[in-house]
Copies of this chain bind each other. A is one copy, B any other.
Amino acid sequence: MYLKLLSDQFELGITNISSEELAELGGVNAAKVRKDLSYLGSYGTRGVGYDVEFLVFQIKRELGLTHEWHVVVVGAGHLGNALAGYGGFGERGFPVGGVVDVDPAKIGTVVGGVRVRHLDELAAVVHSRKISIGVIATPAVAAQHAADSLVSAGITSILNFAPTIINTPHGISVRKVDLAVELQILSYHEQRRANVREATKLKAVPGNGRRGASA
């Protein structure tokens, strides 16, 4: 988040920023900003603030963003297509270095500027581009097989968009993004709002409510 905010500020020509301003932009507490940034080292100047460009560099260095990381996408369906064609990945330092699928109808088609190859060729794709990050964009049932294939091919980090939990050997980093879960969380808030409206309408049984929650 800090990287995003600071990069944006730098683009706007801001060269220096205080923890207070950064906290404002990120919607968090200024003390937390300073504590978080102190993890990188003492790069601020008392009485002045932080040098935006320098901080961007330090964060990138810590996150390993000083060079590009090619990623390989498994699954060339709707989601795989969108991810490969998205463009936002390349811009942020994660160009799509390969797309694989098992469907013969999809193999050979071009997605996001890359020709789709068969899952069996995954190891070759991975090694030719020294890829270490794999993205799973398959249906849930195929996700585990995709994960196993990625691990066999030598991938050590996986971003899983399939709505299922995948098992991997120790030492593999896995992140899961489940779009439906995000909507469920919003649904919960909506439900709560509806309940509150109901309770207000009935005007009765105070203290019978549920634990509070904010937006």
Q: Which residues of A are interface residues toward B (Cβ below 8 A)?
A: 1, 3-5, 8, 25-27, 62-65, 69, 71, 78-79, 81-83, 85-89, 91-94, 132-133, 156-159, 163-165, 168, 170-175, 177-194, 215
In the complex, residue of chain B having the shortest beta-carbon distance to the beta carbon of A159: B182
The 10 closest A-B pairs by CB, nearest first: A64-B191, A82-B82, A157-B186, A92-B180, A173-B189, A64-B187, A94-B183, A63-B188, A78-B85, A175-B182
Contact of A172 with B215 in the complex, beta carbons under 8 Å: yes
Q: How many monomers of this protein are in the complex? A: 2
Contact of A170 with B27 in the complex, beta carbons under 8 Å: no
In the complex, residue of chain B having the shortest beta-carbon distance to the beta carbon of A69: B187
Enumerate chain B residues within 8 angstroms of A133, measured Cβ to Cβ.
183, 186-187, 190
Enumerate chain B residues within 8 angstroms of A86, measured Cβ to Cβ.
78-79, 179
Compute how far the CA of A174 lies from the CA of B182 in the bound complex, rounded to whole angstroms.
10
Contact of B192 with A64 in the complex, beta carbons under 8 Å: yes
Given contacts A180-B89, A182-B177, A186-B173, contact A27 B79 (CB under 8 A): no
Contact of A63 with B163 in the complex, beta carbons under 8 Å: no
- Contact among B27, B94, B174, B181 for A165, CB-based, below 8 A: B27
Contact of B132 with A171 in the complex, beta carbons under 8 Å: no
Enumerate chain B residues within 8 angstroms of A193, measured Cβ to Cβ.
156
Show 14 A/B contacts (Cβ-Cβ < 8 Å), sorted by A.
A4-B181, A5-B165, A26-B165, A79-B82, A89-B179, A91-B180, A92-B163, A133-B186, A158-B186, A159-B183, A168-B215, A170-B215, A175-B185, A177-B177
Compute how far the CA of A92 lies from the CA of B25 in the bound complex, rounded to whole angstroms.
34
Compute how far the CA of A174 lies from the CA of B215 in the bound complex, rounded to whole angstroms.
7
Given contacts A64-B187, A65-B184, A81-B82, contact A179 B88 (CB under 8 A): yes
